[in-house]
């Protein structure tokens, strides 16, 4: 996950389905479960918005959707809880520090577009999991690593699975 001290324009993290449609995203059926799709074209470096959800303060908490924040986990709300993995993602999570004017708001995770996205295209991120959490990847991209794992850990995974 990328980190930045610059923060895109602040906005409420409580969104309705129509708010996200206005922002240009929708949830739909994907190859495996649900996915997030572009309802309009996006350009590289666009920020979609913050990932809303509940921060869980429990070291033993586990979730299929949770985003690791170090000591805490963000359990994302729809639509971004349905961002699927790809070894060739078109989005990434960006960690934004707490706003100095509103430190109670805490840090936020934003979705940034890292390459142009066409209308109807599934929006994906690289989960970059640690080897102990890795599972087989079936993203279908040309450069699929075979494992949902951080790219720098691929060789270690291959050795470990021999």
Give the span between the Cα atoms of 33 and 19, in whole angstroms: 22
Specify the higher pLDDT residue, 43 or 14: 43
Alpha-carbon distances, residue 112 vs 38, 40, 103, 131, 138 (angstroms):
13, 15, 22, 25, 23
pLDDT at residue 4 above 60?
no
- pLDDT for 6: 44
Helix runs in the chain, H state only: 17-23, 154-161
- pLDDT for 102: 67
Range with the lowest mean pLDDT among 29-33, 60-64, 137-141?
A: 60-64
Alpha-carbon distances, residue 48 vs 9, 15, 43, 94 (angstroms):
11, 12, 11, 11
Range with the lowest mean pLDDT among 17-31, 61-75, 108-122?
A: 17-31
pLDDT at residue 145 above 50?
yes
Domains of the chain: 2-126 (2.170.270.10), 128-162 (no CATH)
Beta strands in 97-157 (DSSP E): 108-113, 122-125
pLDDT at residue 24 above 80?
yes
- Phi, psi torsion values for 23, nearest 5 degrees: -80, -15
Bridge partner list, 54: 75
* pTM for the full predicted model: 0.79
Q: What is the pLDDT of residues 70-129, one digit of tens each?
A: 778 889 999 999 999 999 999 999 987 766 676 556 567 899 999 999 999 999 999 998
Give 20's pLDDT tier (boundaries 50, 70, 90). low
- pLDDT for 107: 63
């Amino acid at each position: 996950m990328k980190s930045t001290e610059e923060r895109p324009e602040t906005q409420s993290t409580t969104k309705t389905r129509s708010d996200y449609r206005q922002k240009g995203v929708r949830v739909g059926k994907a190859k495996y479960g649900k996915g997030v799709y572009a309802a309009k074209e996006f350009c590289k470096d666009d920020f979609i918005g913050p990932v809303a959800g509940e921060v869980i303060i429990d070291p033993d908490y586990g979730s299929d959707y949770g985003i690791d924040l170090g000591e805490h986990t963000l359990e994302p709300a729809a639509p971004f809880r349905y961002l699927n993995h790809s070894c060739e993602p078109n989005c990434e999570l960006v960690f934004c520090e707490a706003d100095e004017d509103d430190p109670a708001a805490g840090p936020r995770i934003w979705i940034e577009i890292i390459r142009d996205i066409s209308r109807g295209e599934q929006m994906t991120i690289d989960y970059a999991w640690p080897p102990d959490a890795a599972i087989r990847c079936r993203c279908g991209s040309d450069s699929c690593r075979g494992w949902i794992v951080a790219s720098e850990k691929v060789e270690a995974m291959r050795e470990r699975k021999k």
